[in-house]
Structure 1
Amino acid sequence: MKLIGSLASPFVRKVRVVLAEKKLDYDYELESVWDAGTQIHLSNPLGKVPCLIMDDGTPMIDSRVIVEYLDTLTPVCKLLPPQSRDRASVKCWEALADGVLDAAVLVRLEHTLRPAEQQSAAWIARQMNKVHAGLAAMSADLGELPFCKGNQYTLADVAVGCALGWIQFRFPEIDWPEDYPNLARLYAKLSERQSFKDTVPQ
């Protein structure tokens, strides 16, 4: 398999963490989707990473689709429960974490791609409200549990860890570790895993 991605994308990081946890071999091809000469559209018509090229050359797109597929390839470190209710709960955690990232990415793009005089303060505020509401919801749902779903490390933790890491990377002014000590404890624990150490955004 070959993964097309970047070193900064939290969605690519999520896939890389899962690949590492599942101990799956793959080639990694760096691609900057913002470069004029990007070729990502040849594999993903949406022009986005991550994109997983499977052994037969078929592309698979969207991080949520990719990680769910990867979890089926080996019983090593199962990240998604087989039961429908528990599985849906883990996927809801992932959707919440990804939603926080979607909003934060929109704010970053507004700041970096638009001249200051064209930026919409109302749009930025709307997206940042989603980020802060999402962080508060993650903290409330985590409570004092060791992991998002209790005692077991799952895809929920991977998704939340990647979201927290990217916000810390791109929005250091958001002091979520101070506001949500339980999320800070979870992130510190996740950061000790080799899969997270090897995929720090840059």
Structure 2
Amino acid sequence: MKLRSSPASPFGRKTKIAAILCGIHLDILPADTSDPADSLRVQNPLGKIPILLPDDGAPIYDSPVILDYLDAQAGGGCIIPSAGPARFEVLTTQALADGLMDAALLQVYEVRFRAEGERSPSWVDRQASKVARALRAFEAAPPRPAEGLSGAAHAGEITLACALGYLDFRFKGTWREDHPALVAWLDSFAARVPAFEATHPVD
């Protein structure tokens, strides 16, 4: 299978980690979301990454759907519990961490794609407040491992680790000072999931 992504994408990173934990090899193909001629707009009309290209079948997107697919390809119960309260706890954790990443990305895009005179400080503040609320929630209750999975971490943990890694990458780790429980959690995650360091983002 092939994955369309970019080296800096936290959503691509979570997909790569999930594939490693599920024992699935992915060939990584670059994608340029800024290039109107890039074929990713045919593979995903939204022009967003990551996009999974199975050996047979239609493209799969976005990252939560890809992780569900990878889990199924691994026989189920690798990174997502198959049923019960644990399944929805993992999926809800993933949703909150995805939202954190979305809000962080939107702050970066506001600076990258808008001229200084066109930027909206109130918009940036709104996204920053989403990040702050998500961090507070995770600081109060860091994700718990889900029992019975064959992978070393579940989808929610993978997504949160990539969200925090993105804050380190693009926001100089300013989140760390006020969130000691999350710092300890991320250190523990990195120790049991070597794929986290192996997929470190680059510009």
Scaled by the length of structure 2, the TM-score of the pair is 0.90
Q: Which residue in the other structure is 1:162 paired with? A: 162
* Equivalence map 1:122-161=2 (5 Å): 122-142=122-142, 148-150=143-145, 152=147, 153-161=153-161
Q: Residues 37-72 of structure 1: CA distance to partner in whole angstroms, max 9, x if unpaired?
A: 322112111111100011114100100001011111
Cα distance, 1:15 vs structure 2: 0.5
2:104 counterpart of 1:104 = yes
2:49 counterpart of 1:49 = yes
Q: Which residue in the other structure is 2:189 paired with? A: 190
2:58 counterpart of 1:58 = yes
In structure 2, the CA distance between the partners of 1:99 and 1:178, relative to structure 1 (3 Å rule), is same
| AA aligned opposite 2:177 | E
Gaps of 5+ in 1: 143-147
8 Å contact kept, 2:145–2:154: no
Q: Residues 166-198 of structure 1: CA distance to partner in whole angstroms, max 9, x if unpaired?
A: 0110111x5222211111112112223221122
Distance 1:188 1:35 in 2: 36
Cα distance, 1:35 vs structure 2: 2.8
Q: Which residue in the other structure is 2:150 paired with? A: none
In structure 2, the CA distance between the partners of 1:188 and 1:77, relative to structure 1 (3 Å rule), is farther
Choose 48-57 or 157-166, whichever is displaced more.
Answer: 48-57
Q: Which residue in the other structure is 1:175 paired with? A: 174
Distance 1:26 1:175 in 2: 32
Q: Which residue in the other structure is 1:145 paired with? A: none
In structure 2, the CA distance between the partners of 1:195 and 1:150, relative to structure 1 (3 Å rule), is closer
| AA aligned opposite 2:98 | D
Q: Residues 108-128 of structure 1: CA distance to partner in whole angstroms, max 9, x if unpaired?
A: 111111111111111111110
User: What count of residue pairs does the alignment treat as equivalent?
Assistant: 196
Distance 1:74 1:57 in 2: 17
8 Å contact kept, 1:22–1:77: no
| AA aligned opposite 1:5 | S
Distance 1:150 1:200 in 2: 22
Distance 2:107 2:26 in 1: 32
2:16 counterpart of 1:10 = no
Distance 2:156 2:36 in 1: 35
- How large is the RMSD of aligned CA atoms in angstroms? 1.7
Distance 1:200 1:191 in 2: 11
Cα distance, 1:154 vs structure 2: 1.5
Distance 1:151 1:85 in 2: 10
Distance 1:40 1:151 in 2: 34
8 Å contact kept, 1:22–1:71: yes
How many percent identity over aligned positions? Answer: 35
Q: Which residue in the other structure is 2:40 paired with? A: 40
In structure 2, the CA distance between the partners of 1:27 and 1:116, relative to structure 1 (3 Å rule), is same
